[in-house]
Amino acid sequence: MTGVLAAGTNTDSVAVETVFWILAVVAVAAALAMILVRRAVHCAIMLAVVMLCLATMYAMQGAPFLAFVQIIVYTGAVLMLFLFVIMLIGITAADSIVETIKGQRLAAGLAAIGLLVLLALGIGHAAIGPAAPPSPKYGSGNLTGIATLIFTTYVFPFEVTGALLITAALGAMVLAHRERIAPRPTQRDLAARRLASGQVVGDPPPGIYALHDSADRPALLPDGSPAASSVSSVLNPRTGTEPPQVVRPGEKPQLEAADGGEREPAPSAGSGRAES
Amino acid sequence: MTDQGMLQHLLAAPGTEPTLASFNTEIWWMVLLKAGMVFAFLLLTTIFMIWFERRVIGRMQNRPGPNRAGPFGLLQPVADALKLPLKEDIIPRSADKLIFVIAPVISATMAFIGFSVIPWGPEVSIFHHQTPLQLADLPVAVLVILAMSSIGVYGLVLAGWASGSPYSLLGALRSAAQVISYEIAMGLAFVAVFLYAGSLSTSAIVAAQNNGWFFWELPVSFVIYLFTMVGETNRLPFDLPEGEGELVAGYHTEYSSMKFAMFYLAEYINMTTVAALATTLFLGGWRAPWPISLWSGANTGWWPLLWFLIKVFILLFGYVWLRGTLPRVRYDQLMALGWKVLIPVSIVWILFIAVIRAWKLNFNSTAIYAVAGLVFVLLIIMVMAWDEAAQQRAARNAPTEASPQPAVAGPGQPAAPAFPVPPLDLPHYHGTGVEPGNSATPAREVTGA
């Protein structure tokens, strides 16, 4: 924070230069890593690192507002949405890398050449031409400066951009909209449907009366057979679902005592319920 | 710092109100000292809050709470803090190791940084140096807290993803969606404060509340901020990312030992930070509350630190109260509250405030309040009329009342079975049920096969 303030007053140029060179290395390395790593989530994290480096550089140039807006809007919201979608649909390294767009390589190459030309022109212009004025022209702080520019000189482009963004958001909503054909089922409808389905309560939890208290061990029904619906469909139910060795010939099964060795003797009200 | 710099600094900031310029002339050891103070304060607050929360919730639930370690159980959090790092540190086999380790660090670090822009008090004298009781300030200080909370969410989201378990991933997805939604409403709640204070710097916002807290002028913003601060910190009733009834523990299901402790720490520090921000933005910061503020010395020296801490801990008590009182909301209710209530209300409120502000600045007349009140009443009447019309339309379009028992078959439908109803009278309702101890076989301890 003190570095940021020092940069704002141009008092400590050595520190600014040092931080710049550290950040430059980190940013370029992260940008390269973003292209080279295989997992989509790692790419997103590398992109976040690049964005944070850029934000710090904005702050060093005396533009703290831009820096924190960059962090809040791009890192905090836009990239977080990317990450959200990546995690939601679960892209993995094993995904297909077949190119679906025709001539993508040619187009990408042309775009890369165009970008290089633009960069060369921009850097050359900055290196050869006169340096930009060091102090902002509008207002004292960069916050009022930006506000003045947006609401005077650039008010029309600003409003047009706003209209474009709203149109895009509305378009996305229209495209994703689905007309509700049937009325939304009420709680009463849902209850009636559940009764009609034959299963009134939810699935039984796993592991009850089984030997191991683990999520992939099916519960046992009163007759000793495993209840398949008690294990989540993403797990493989363990085989060997025989009940623990508590039933001896001529004895009634004691189901309470079977799920843990160190228990107190089972309350007899419970065993009465199990027997009936 | 030279003597001349010191002199300029003193001339630039007369009185005890720190300005942005006060932070450019800080000595390096003073910055280190204040950073250490912030660090120690946040750790101590976390330890205290663990004890406080358990005791208060215990009282609310008619039980004593922790009372074994030390007087009033005060040493309980110390015991917890010693126990937690000594537990086994488990990294699941399916986890993405690097990110799994980094995620809690991101969360905890960002939580610490956010607190650095909170003003604790006016300028005080530390070792004969005049310095503001605030670690750092920027022209955009409030945005620093927003930025740090939006990076802190990366910790939660990456933790959930890197754990490689469905519950963690669901918790991560929920926290991503929740924090993005509530951050928008939180930012909108700030806008009215920025309009009134004319600055984004926290020290300037506190200075602007010299003549009255923003709580009185901007009550709607304050209420919206209270909602969003609970949503941002994933606390009950908005703790869906770790809802233990559905997701075991959400994003930190797979975490143990020190890594879990870091998430725990981050949660409590975030609570402290947002409570301190609420104090700074709406409750006058370190300024003394009304009856005390009549005393001329109330806002000088080290006293303001006390007022600041009292306000922060009242808000933190609110957190505990919420947790002891309210059940967790459903996910769609959370999203509906954020997007359909908080954001539209904030936008309308900002328009309203901006009009009043512009009018006051340009015409400087009190008639604006009459006009504003009239518009407000008209708005309420319009909303009520619209709501009435909507209800009447819904009543007209609604199908006739369905029969209470779904046993009646509709045309072309098989009859649905009746709802299962427990028997209304059973012997054991009257205390004459199965006698204890009459089981046929004695219960026997069973060891695993």
**Set of chain A residues whose Cβ sits within 8 Å of the Cβ of B418:** 195
B419:A268 CB<8 A: no
Residue B434 has pLDDT above 70, yes or no: no
Q: Phi then psi for B133, rounded to 5 degrees? A: -80, 70
Contacts of A84 in chain B (CB under 8 A): 157, 173, 176-177
Is pLDDT of B5 > 70? no
Res. A239 pLDDT band, cuts 50 70 90 = low
Q: How far apart are the C-alpha atoms of B79 and B16, rounded to whole Å?
A: 42
Phi and psi angles of residue B137, each rounded to the nearest 5 degrees, phi first: -140, 150
- What per-residue confidence (pLDDT) applies to B18? 72
First to last CA, chain B: 77
Is the model's pLDDT at B146 over the cut of 80?
yes
* Element counts in chain A: helices (H) and strands (E): 10, 2
Q: Judged by CB atoms within 8 Å, which residues 363-402 of B form the interface with A?
A: 402
Question: Phi first, then psi: what are they for A36, rounded to 5°?
Answer: -90, -30
Query: Is B442 in Cβ contact with A261 (below 8 Å)?
Result: no
In CATH terms, the fold of domain A2-92+133-173 is Four Helix Bundle (Hemerythrin (Met), subunit A) (1.20.120)
What per-residue confidence (pLDDT) applies to A140? Answer: 57
- Grade residue A172 by pLDDT with cuts at 50, 70 and 90: very high
**Residue A95: is its pLDDT beyond 80?**
no
A262 vs A199, residue with greater confidence? A199
Residue B275: band (very low, low, confident or very high) from pLDDT cuts 50, 70, 90 = very high
**pLDDT tens digits, A120-156:** 998 888 777 665 555 555 455 677 778 888 888 899 9
A266 → chain B, closest CA residue: B443
pLDDT band at B442 (very low <50, low <70, confident <90, very high): low
For chain B, give the mean pLDDT.
82
Q: Smallest Cβ distance to A268: which of B116, B406, B436? A: B436
B51 at interface of A, judged by CB pairs closer than 8 A: no
Which of the 8 DSSP states describes residue B52?
A: H
Highest mean pLDDT among A25-39, A182-196, A242-256, B369-383: A25-39
Q: Inspect the interface and report whether the beta carbons of B445 and A257 lie closer than 8 Å.
A: yes
- How confident is the model at residue B432, as a pLDDT? 65
Beta bridge partners of B159: none
Nearest to A72 among B117, B150, B438 (CB): B150
Predicted ipTM of the assembly: 0.72
3-state helix, strand and coil shares in percent for chain B, rounded to the nearest 5: 65, 0, 30
Q: Which residues of A touch B417 (CB under 8 A)?
A: 195-196
Q: Can you give the pLDDT at residue A113?
A: 95
- The pLDDT value recorded for residue B131 is 80
- A to B CB pairs, distance under 8 Å: 158
B157 and A258 in contact by Cβ < 8 A?
A: no
pLDDT in tens, A177-211: 888 888 888 888 888 888 888 777 777 777 655 55
pLDDT at A50 (0 to 100): 93
DSSP state for residue A131 in the 8-state scheme? P
Place of tokens 């006169």: A130
pLDDT of A276 reads: 35
User: From residue B366, how far is each of B196, B357, B446 by CA, in Å?
Assistant: 17, 12, 83
Buried b (16+ CB within 10 A) or exposed e, A34-43: beeeeebbbb
The answer to whether residue B166 neighbours chain A at the CB level (below 8 Å) is yes
- The Cα A254–Cα B442 span in angstroms is 9
Check CB contact under 8 Å for A256 and B443.
Answer: yes
Average pLDDT, chain A: 75
Name which of A137-141, A221-225, A262-266, B215-219 the model is least confident about. A262-266
Residue B35 exposed, middle or buried by CB count within 10 Å (0-12, 13-18, 19+): middle
Averaged pLDDT for residues B242-263: 83
Chain B residues in contact with A77 (beta carbon < 8 A): 150, 180, 183
Higher pLDDT, A257 or A177: A177
* pLDDT digits 0-9 by tens, A50-80: 999 999 888 887 788 888 888 988 888 888 8
Cα–Cα distance, A157 to A154 (Å, whole number): 6
Region of residue B437 (left: phi > 0; alpha: psi -120 to 50; beta: else)? left
Q: Per-domain residue ranges for chain A?
A: 2-92+133-173, 204-235
Gap between the Cα atoms of B131 and B137, Å rounded: 12
Name the residue with higher pLDDT: B295 or B39. Answer: B39
